[in-house]
Amino acid sequence: MSLRRSLRFLAAALFAAAIVSCKSTHPSGTPVATIPSSTPEQTAQQLRALRASFHGMKSLMHVRATTGGKTQSFRAQLIVHDARRMELIAYTPVGTTALTMKADGDAITTDPAVAPESFAFLRAAGLTPAETGMLLLGIPPRDDVRVTYGAGGLSSANAGEIAVTFEPPAFPAKRIVIARGDDRIELEHLEVVSE
């Protein structure tokens, strides 16, 4: 086999592997429909009803996290099974899994292992990781979370030490900014489906 032919084969194989690995990150399920509300009051009522009947959601999202003066951008999949259980899968630029985090209540496990202080930002909300996941999808996880409703979705929320802004107010959430002091996480939901 000639060198040129070998290089073409290698390039084609790498391209195919990248396409296959990127496709594996898309969540499976039925797309989540927007809520038909024209007032904040209707939105509050509909989101409370969604929380009461919550059976899980998945989101493929783009994440830009600035913590400790360092910024990282990556794609991730958020899977919230219920108010106690969730998973977060962070992907490398070519679509392979870089990190898997699973939470059951307050217990968090990761593969590969991550230092517990890495989750200080997450714990600052005063919610379980799954409740935080529900909030990031646009569902207020509990009645004691301070939220502001807009027509069609959450506008903002404060939970513990974090402030969350939803741009625009919509359900499912589209773009979210989470702030805690100088730390900031920006999320953009690319696809949201039900489990």
The domains of the chain, with CATH numbers, are: 3-194 (2.50.20.10)
Whether residue 141 is preceded by a cis peptide bond, meaning omega within 30 degrees of 0, is: no
Whether the predicted pLDDT of 8 surpasses 70: no
As a whole number of angstroms, the distance between CA 17 and CA 38 comes to 45
Average of per-residue pLDDT across 17-37: 71
Does the structure show a pLDDT above 90 at 54?
yes
The mean pLDDT of 85-93, rounded to a whole number, is 96
Residue 177 Cα to chain centre, angstroms: 12
| Predicted pLDDT of residue 2 | 46
- Give the pLDDT confidence score for residue 18 in this predicted structure: 42
CB neighbours of residue 175 within 10 Å: 15
Task: Evaluate whether 168 touches 50 at the Cβ level (below 8 Å).
Answer: no
Indicate if the pLDDT at residue 21 is higher than 80. Answer: no
The mean predicted confidence, pLDDT, of the chain is: 87
Mean pLDDT within 154-172: 96
Q: Which 8-state DSSP code applies to residue 7? A: H
Per-residue pLDDT, 22: 45
> Cα 121 from chain centroid?
14
- pLDDT for 193 equals 97
Question: Would you say 175 and 187 are in contact if contact means Cβ atoms under 8 Å apart?
Answer: yes
Residue 139 to residue 16: CA distance in whole angstroms: 38
Q: Is the pLDDT of residue 89 over 50?
A: yes
